[in-house]
Amino acid sequence: MAIETPAVILNFKAYEQAIGDNAVKLANIAAEVAQASGVEIVVAPQAVDIPKISPIIKTIAQHIDPLRPGAGTGSMLTEAARAAGAVGSLINHSERQIQHSKIDLSIKKLKELGMTSVVCADTAEKSEELAQFSPDFIAVEPPELIGSGISVSTAQPEIITNTLEKVRAANSAVKVLCGAGISNKEDAKKSYELGAQGVLLASAFTKAENPKAVLENIAEGFE
């Protein structure tokens, strides 16, 4: 199942506010906002929560390991993520970085299973390198802005425009998302106007006192 654009991807990370029953509550909120706004909203919960959340809203894993079924204790098997209901996975998030060779293998494994790859990169140059592996999406996220409340689209818009230019030159089929510091309609709108095809965010939604209001506001940025 493909992820449509513009897309809002919500990374639940390992926040207490976004695990177990709390994760289900947030997923239901995201589903309500997606239906009301018409914006594609996707969530990336903890692996153990995927089976509970995937019937509610389109769901991706936070990480997969590109190994074949068999030995691999402690690994996140791609087949297991798909069986749990995930339609894709984040790859190489700044909190779970992997070698380029494994990024390539992870993308290939997801493609093999008909799943969507969302690869994270911290610079335009790194995005250009990773675009050659043909992921479905690249999310550019300067790590210093993650969780800062300062949007890359506002603080460093040139990162988005440079990333778009380099990624399109390397592989025009790859879609670009804006991550790091996205927290409101203005951030999302600016990202979209610069050419990004969606946003990736976490704490602005998961840790909000009123996550529904936050998500409704962000979705308005794509109207």
Measured between alpha carbons, how far is 223 from 218 in angstroms, rounded to an integer? 10
Give the tokens for residue 67. 């190994």
Q: What single letter denotes the amino acid at residue 78?
A: T
Q: Quick one: which of 48, 43, 20, 19 has its CA closest to 31?
A: 43
Torsion of CA 22, 24, 25, 28, to 10 degrees: 160
Q: In 3-state terms, what secondary structure has residue 91?
A: strand
Annotated active-site residue 93? The verdict is yes
Annotated active-site residue 100? The verdict is no
Cβ atoms of 130 and 101 within 8 Å: the answer is no
Q: Which of 100, 141, 186, 193 is catalytic?
A: 141
Dihedral sign computed on CA atoms, order 188, 193, 199, 201 = negative
Q: Which of 4, 93, 112, 216 is catalytic?
A: 93
Residues identified as active-site: 93, 141
